Structure 1
Amino acid sequence: MSHCADNPLRVAVLISGGGTTLRNLLEKIAAEHLWIKVALVVSSTPKAKGLQYATDGDIPVSIADWKSYESTESFSEAVFGACRAAGVDLVVMGGFLKHVLIPADFDNRVINIHPSLIPAFCGEGFYGARVHQAAIDYGVKLSGCTIHLVDNHYDNGPVVAQQSVPVLPDDDAAALAARVFEAECELYPHVLQLFAEGRITIDGRKVAVR
């Protein structure tokens, strides 16, 4: 199904920290560059600073404090139960650091952005500065970001889009992270707009734009 500015794609944004991805998406929506509506923000902790963006934007919030759940299954059900109740079309992970299990009705409806060119420097334990330091230590000349569909394993789902950035000789993790984040800020809204326009097709691990 394709959407338009008057009938936007309803998304939930999942956060665990500062909410920089959420802020970027809200800015793109405000500039009328993105046919989505953030219908819900879900946080894995009540202390996430990014919740302020939801408050400022009058966006409904659900707190699924992972420490309150006895299992990944019960935590996942809390997260997706809230998304289900909000009637969202797509779940967008934005710095969400907790593992979830994807229920059948959300298969191919959850996307994440990872700060490397998957399958390099990804998987359990690879997040934040660790990813960028690993790329520098390995000596790669290119890094970047990857948007992928989410399955039940870390950074394992089909790749939707990737964008590369150079790794410079004098980079530290912070400098590389800033360069990758600039790419993320362009690529994530671009891909979400493709979803909103109904232009993404998924066939197993092959994702295409029509």
Structure 2
Amino acid sequence: MTGFKLNLKKIILFASGSGSNAEKICKYFEKKKNVSLELLVCNNPNAKVLKKTNKYFINSMIIDYESFYNSSAVLEKILNINPSLIVLAGFLWKIPEKLIKAFPEKIINIHPALLPKFGGKGMYGINIHNAVIEKKETKSGITIHYVNKNYDEGEVIFQKTIDIKKNETPEELSSRILKLEHNFFPRIINQVLESGK
């Protein structure tokens, strides 16, 4: 039993919205005995993610702007857990530099486009897919990357590309991209955990 405890991988998940990615991640890791879903951090007390993932997490924490950016409360809570990985699954706030410095190459994010294109402030949700279609791109996809102090500029871990169909709407593209996210994000998280980077 001691060996099991020593090898336990702890995940903290940050989310803001509906929680479809968060739920897929939880279901993927639910039966993995060496992974513990320690904490869900959410900046929206009405977010659907809280109900969808409630049974999977040991704890959840609702944060406000003040506690996240201007106090050390969130950082201290995370330091006490000492996670193997912090996963951003639809979390819309920028991660403070103090958290990035405390956990270098331990925070990962998924972005519904092929970075470095269509990244940065304001590039989330349907905004991205509108921009991709407007620019007449022929390909889109997902990027899983480490988080640094700039939006969507961290080292790329994984990308998956799809062809954009003729006359495809942003909504149709969004739906196909979301399926990619659900399919690959949990598996890539697992690979990162197993690599021990």
The normalised TM-score by structure 1 is 0.83
CA contact (8 A) 1:36 1:196 kept: no
Matches within 5 A, 1:62-81: 62-66=61-65, 69=66, 73-74=69-70, 77-81=72-76
Q: CA deviation at 1:139?
A: 0.6
How many residue pairs were aligned?
193
Change (3 A) 1:58 1:127: closer
Q: CA deviation at 1:88?
A: 1.4
2:89 is matched by which residue type in structure 1?
A: G
RMSD: 2.4
| Counterpart pick for 2:165 among 151, 164, 168 | 168
Q: CA deviation at 1:36?
A: 3.0
| Counterpart pick for 1:196 among 159, 183, 193 | 193
Residue aligning to 1:94 = 89
CA distance in 2, matches of 1:162, 1:101: 25
Task: Name the structure with the higher helix share.
Answer: 2
Q: Which segments of 5 or more consecutive residues in structure 2 lack a partner in the other structure? A: none
Residue aligning to 1:23 = 23
1:91 is matched by which residue type in structure 2?
A: I
Q: CA deviation at 1:148?
A: 0.7
- 3-state DSSP class of the match of 1:144? strand
Q: Which segments of 5 or more consecutive residues in structure 1 lack a partner in the other structure? A: 201-210
Q: Which runs of 4+ in 1 moved over 6 A?
A: 3-6
- 3-state DSSP class of the match of 2:120? coil
CA contact (8 A) 1:46 1:65 kept: no
2:165 is matched by which residue type in structure 1?
A: L
CA contact (8 A) 1:18 1:49 kept: yes
2:70 is matched by which residue type in structure 1?
A: S
2:84 is matched by which residue type in structure 1?
A: D
- 3-state DSSP class of the match of 2:76? helix
CA distance in 2, matches of 1:121, 1:35: 36
Q: CA deviation at 1:7?
A: 3.7
Matched residues, percent identical? 27
